[in-house]
Structure 1
Amino acid sequence: MTGLYLLLLLVIIFVPVMGPLLLMILPVPFVYYSYRYGGKAGGLMFMATTIFTLLFATVFTVFTLLAGIGGLFLGIALHHKRSSYEALAIGSVGFVIGLLGILLITQLFLGVNLMDELQSGMNQGYGTFERIFSGLLEGEEVETDLAEIGQLIEFIPDIVPSILAMSGVMLAFVSQWTTYKLINRIENQTLGFTDFKNIKLPTSILWYYFVAMILNYVTMDGNDLAYLAALNVFILTGALIVLQGFSFVFFYAWKKKWSKAIPILVVVFSILLPGIVMYLVRIIGIIDIGFPMRERVEEKKE
Structure 2
Amino acid sequence: MKQTRALVEGAILVSLFAVLMMISLYIPLIGTFLLLTLPLPAMIQTIRHGVKPGFFMGLVSLPVTLIAGSLSGLAIAFPVIAAGILMGFHYRKKEPAQAIASAAIAYMVSLVLLLFISIQFLGLNLIEEANQSYNESFKMSETLIKQFGNSKETAEQMELIKEQLKQTQYLYPTVIVIFSGIVAFLNHLIAKPILRRFALQVPPLKPFRELKLPQGTIWLYLLTILLSLAPAEEGSAFYSFILNASTMMGLIIAIQGFSFIFYFCYAKKLPTVLPVLFLIFGLLTPLLYLVRILGIIDIGFNLREKIKKS
Decide: shared fold, TM above 0.5. yes
Q: Is the 8 A contact 1:271 1:278 kept in 2?
A: yes
Q: Which stretch of structure 1 is more off in the superposition, 213-222 or 118-127? A: 213-222
Q: Which of the numbers 289, 292, 310 marks the counterpart of 1:279?
A: 289
Q: CA deviation at 1:56?
A: 3.5
Q: How does 1:79-118 map to 2 (within 5 A)?
A: 79-82=92-95, 84-118=96-130
**Partner amino acid for 1:42?**
G
Q: CA deviation at 1:188?
A: 6.3
Q: Which of the numbers 14, 20, 23 marks the counterpart of 1:2?
A: 14
In the alignment, what sits opposite 2:54?
42
Q: Is the 8 A contact 1:215 1:227 kept in 2?
A: no
Q: CA deviation at 1:139?
A: 1.2
In the alignment, what sits opposite 1:137?
149
In the alignment, what sits opposite 1:70?
83
Instruction: Label 1:25 to 1:79 Cα distance change in 2 as closer, same or farther (>3 A).
Output: same
**Partner amino acid for 1:244?**
Q
Q: Deviations over 1:183-221 (max 9, x none)?
A: 233326362221111111112221211111111221444
Q: Which of the numbers 169, 191, 195 marks the counterpart of 2:207?
A: 195
In the alignment, what sits opposite 2:306?
296
Q: Is the 8 A contact 2:82 2:106 kept in 1?
A: yes
Instruction: Label 1:218 to 1:117 Cα distance change in 2 as closer, same or farther (>3 A).
Output: same
Q: CA deviation at 1:158?
A: 1.6
**Partner amino acid for 2:215?**
T
In the alignment, what sits opposite 1:166?
178
| 1:185 maps to 2:197 | yes
- Whole-angstrom distance in 2 between the partners of 1:70 and 1:87: 9
Structure 2 gap segments, 5+ residues each: 1-12
- Whole-angstrom distance in 1 between the partners of 2:90 and 2:237: 32
SS in 1 for 2:150: coil
Q: Is the 8 A contact 1:96 1:168 kept in 2?
A: yes
Q: Is the 8 A contact 2:221 2:250 kept in 1?
A: yes
Q: Is the 8 A contact 2:91 2:203 kept in 1?
A: no
RMSD: 1.9
- Whole-angstrom distance in 2 between the partners of 1:188 and 1:16: 30
Structure 1 gap segments, 5+ residues each: none
* Identity across the alignment (%): 26
Count of residues paired in the alignment = 297
List structure 1 runs of 4+ shifted beyond 4 angstroms. none
Q: Is the 8 A contact 2:47 2:91 kept in 1?
A: yes
Q: Which of the numbers 241, 249, 273 marks the counterpart of 1:261?
A: 273
**Partner amino acid for 2:39?**
P
Q: Is the 8 A contact 2:254 2:295 kept in 1?
A: yes
SS in 2 for 1:187: coil
SS in 1 for 2:170: helix
- Whole-angstrom distance in 2 between the partners of 1:128 and 1:18: 32
Q: How does 1:9-28 map to 2 (within 5 A)?
A: 9-28=21-40
Q: CA deviation at 1:154?
A: 2.1
Q: CA deviation at 1:12?
A: 1.8
